[in-house]
Amino acid sequence: MAKIISSSRAKKVGVPSVPKKPAKKVAKDPPKPAKKSAKPKPWTPAEVYEAFSRFRKANPEPKGELEHLNPYTLLVAVVLSAQATDAGVNKATRALFAVADTPAKMLELGEEKVREYIKTIGLYRNKAKNVIALSEKLIAEFGSEVPRTRAEIETLPGAGRKTANVVLNMAYGEHTMAVDTHVFRVGNRTGLAPGNTPLEVELGLEKVIPSEFMLHAHHWLILHGRYTCLARKPRCEVCLINDLCRWPEKTV
């Protein structure tokens, strides 16, 4: 009988394996830099002139919507308008200004009573404190008059650059550009004066807008942003400057 060799003792017979060559590394293309979104083409001087000519034709004498009686009440109204609507401020200040239209009368009224008049306005407690403090400073340092320079107005409690620009423009006819949320949006969205900060937009607008339009320019832009170039649903179909606007998402 043939002798059976157990599989465990059997020698494995096979074809000698050929050593594998290391796989060649496929060179990968270097990552492509992310495409930068193209900056909108700047407006030409002729386009800027055309835009503001249209604004002027549609509304030759635009007015600010904050109600006031004199430079002092304008200053107070602008200070109160921070993070509040003009309509809400007007509702509160009509009665306030009827009894206190000068710094002296405001001090006589006192902070507690001022709070009562403006309690429907956001942050009214801090704003009442600022109104009393700025009134005291106007009497002590400026002869009860609202100063005529931006630097001096900015020293008053509650007053910043935007407040100073509004007062200088509306009370004293200076060619200043007050940049609120509406003007900031319009300047960036249209490409008229893009900027990362209100100051950048302000300086950009002052650079491109012809002097003959500067007295009313900030009112035209505020009204345009408030009623046409809305934040969520811009009304491009009725926009006076839709053919000039650089916004890529405009609907017309």
What are the structure tokens assigned to 127, written together?
């704003």
Catalytic-role residue among 180, 207, 233, 250:
180
Among candidate residues 232, 190, 148, 118, the one with its CA nearest the CA of residue 109: 118
Three-state SS string over 25-93 comes to CCCCCCCCCCCCCCCCCCCCHHHHHHHHHHHHHHCCCCCCCCCCCCHHHHHHHHHHCCCCCHHHHHHHH
Residues 6+ positions from 175 with CB-CB distance below 8 Å: 169, 211, 214, 215
Residue type, 184: F
Q: Cα separation of 123 and 112, whole Å?
A: 14
Residue 180 annotated in active site = yes
Residue 243 annotated in active site = no
Please report which helix (H) or strand (E) contains residue 107, including its range. helix 103-109
The helix/strand/coil state of 19 is coil
* Cα Rg of the chain, angstroms: 33
Q: Cα separation of 251 and 249, whole Å?
A: 6
Q: Cα separation of 84 and 87, whole Å?
A: 8
E strand spans, the chain: none
Catalytic-role residue among 29, 162, 207, 243:
162
Catalytic residues: 162, 180
